Amino acid sequence: MTIRAKLRNDAMKMAVSILQSAKDPNNLHKTHGKYLSVPDHYDLKRQADNRLLANPLLQSLIDERFAAPWPSLDAMSKMPR
């Protein structure tokens, strides 16, 4: 398969995945979520990521790496199903 055909095939999978995700967001991780990571296989994506990481305007956000606190098992057991 040529690179162009592979890119076209991957782009079609991503488009279908996005449409399916919008139609049925509850099953995103089971069926079509695997295609949302298709861009990660291309050098262009890696180059874009590296440019963003090297941007001094974004450095404070990258350094901060905000993450919400994870609830304890006790707190999770009290949450609704």
Domain boundaries, the chain: 1-55
pLDDT at residue 43, as a whole number: 81
What pLDDT score was predicted for residue 7?
80
Say if CB 36 and CB 14 are below 8 A apart. Answer: yes
Q: What does the pLDDT look like over 43-61, one tens digit per residue? A: 877 888 899 889 998 888 8
pLDDT, position 33: 57
Q: Which residues contact 32 (CB under 8 A, 6 or more apart)?
A: 16, 17, 20, 21
pLDDT value for 62: 81
pTM over 0.85, yes/no? no
Positions of the chain with pLDDT under 70:
1, 3, 27-38, 40, 66
